[in-house]
Chains A and B, each alone.
Chain A
């Protein structure tokens, strides 16, 4: 299994798109920190970028990579390798390569300019987002046989989590304006890892942002000892669940 991970990870790290992603992140982050004097402001801008870019790159790159590797997967499947470890190796290879790209591209500038708890949380959540969307792409590409369709679904999934979901949330919140919304809001936040990461990051940043009764609910649910445990538990579930389902499917899939 280790060997397959090694081959996949090295193959990905040589990939031009991943290198471009890393370089872009690095230049953008460094630029933000150098231009803006207040690191907190840079972190906020970086958060906005990360929330869009990490899921996009992670899901699209992984999906395309998996489809393009169908030959590779077939070659390996005929070797004495367990199905599960084969699929997990691809996951680990993709996740670690994209995480590494994120660490170098975004983590190093953050550590250089803002090595505080906010920066650390930024790096951790960025890493978690990378892994989650690799996991989601594994799920998509194992269930959809057709490459074009699979890539389309991945793009839609990204669009859904980045934009459409929030639109639906807005709609729902206004439909149910008369009701107490605390639990609903927490429930909705948990349904979208991007929203959850955004809320966790903002809660930890000292922005004047989160205020009012709703912020108290968020703080109660997602900050503090129990809250952090809960929110990170949810994020870990987001990493594991799509992956788990995809492994189960791949184990029985005809290649």
Chain B
């Protein structure tokens, strides 16, 4: 009862207001209507009007939208770029696009042709749209307050057709990316000079290069995302105050694949994430003041590679389970703190039963140092010889760094705080 009542009030309040101002126009385009062409409809509409696009395929070359319209697709209408054009360019504030399929954008080595390009605009919402077989999926330039919600972007199915980034954002701020799925693009999500944005619950899977790639993008929050089976994992570069929470980084296998590559990152937090079966879960190079807290490192080749160029790294309360190497470095690394982690390879004891091992754990093995210097020695992996070497080194340390140790390794797995929804949506 109450809800109906409120609805009536809102109609009463706003509807007449639109009529009075002459903003209430709604046009329907459909292949079976008189009004068949979207770009024609755009010309007839004014800011604040609504265009309803009915099911069908619209091949109109490159369409420009420079009005603040709401476009609603009904029955998944397709705007087809015929592998030649940029399907839709939005160059106006206050645009909302819902339920439209963008297909077959053109591709080029010189210009960034996108299925949907948002340029110099504010207050944009793109939701429940599908992007198929495009070069760039969504391209964002110099815009703010843009939201991409519940979209699905799939590319790379056509042989010979190049694919570029799924959601590409440049020089923008206050973006919200939520619940999007990106597959088969070059980079799933690409940020350059993007600040103060939220990236939440997206699934970037099977992209050719990075699942997520960002540079010079400060003060962003990445939450509950899934980055799986991307060619090179996730690259995070030249950014400050990055906050990554509750994400899943999985199955990023390959010669130069990482769960996360941290390059020149400052003042950032990596918390409660799961790193599962990556060649290198976190590779950190030139990173300063990083807190790595309560993450799960499961079955990775290297859980952590922290180069000596990093400083003030804190590594606390993480679980290290089933990794080939827990920690590797290339020189004289000093951690700010490293304690209360759980290491499945820890062989110490806890005589006073306080849950904390009585002897420190040294995650760097002799062999991990050797393989760091000479990758060919992978040939000796898991050999009896290497086992003996590691054992000898742990009894009489001579080459492994003395100060790299978990001073208080915990005896039992640490309870993990990840929201399970990350996993439910595989």
Residues of chain A whose beta carbon lies under 8 Å from any beta carbon of chain B: 41, 44, 47-48, 51-52, 162-163, 166-167, 169-170, 173-174, 177, 181, 184-185, 188-189, 195, 198-199, 202, 207-216, 218
Contact = CB atoms under 8 A, between A and B. Distances in A.
B233 to A, nearest CB: 12
21 contacts: A47-B382, A48-B382, A51-B383, A51-B384, A52-B384, A163-B388, A166-B384, A170-B380, A170-B385, A173-B379, A185-B376, A202-B382, A207-B299, A207-B324, A209-B324, A209-B382, A211-B280, A211-B302, A212-B378, A213-B375, A218-B379
Contacts of A51: 383-384
A181 B376 contact: yes
A208 B324 contact: yes
B399 interface: no
Interface in B236-262: 253, 255
Given A208-B300, A208-B301, A166 B380 contact: yes
The contact size tier of chain B is 20 to 34
Residues of A contacting B: mostly: helix
B374 A48 contact: no
B376 A214 contact: yes
B371 to A, nearest CB: 8
B220 interface: no
Given A167-B385, A170-B370, A211 B279 contact: yes
B386 interface: yes
B412 to A, nearest CB: 16
Interface string B375-409: 11111111111111000000000000000000000
B384 A177 contact: no
B387 A209 contact: no
A166 B383 contact: yes
Given A173-B374, A177-B374, A209 B381 contact: yes
Contacts of B322: 41, 208
B187 interface: no
Contacts of A215: 378
B152 to A, nearest CB: 30
B234 to A, nearest CB: 17
B271 interface: no
A188 B384 contact: no
A163 B385 contact: yes
A16 to B, nearest CB: 27
A173 B376 contact: yes
A169 B380 contact: yes
**Residue of B324, B379, B384, B385 with highest tally of chain A CB at under 10 A:** B379
**Residue of A41, A44, A215 with highest tally of chain B CB at under 10 A:** A215
Contacts of B387: 48
A44 B255 CA distance: 23
Contacts of B200: none
B50 interface: no
Nearest to B389: A170
**Residue of B253, B377, B387 with highest tally of chain A CB at under 10 A:** B377
Q: Which 3 A-B pairs have the closest CB atoms?
A: A166-B385, A211-B301, A214-B378
B323 interface: yes
B277 interface: yes
B42 to A, nearest CB: 52
A202 B379 contact: no
Given A51-B384, A162-B384, A198-B383, A174 B378 contact: no
Given A170-B370, A208-B277, A208-B322, A214 B382 contact: no
Contacts of B378: 210-212, 214-215, 218
B379 A169 contact: yes
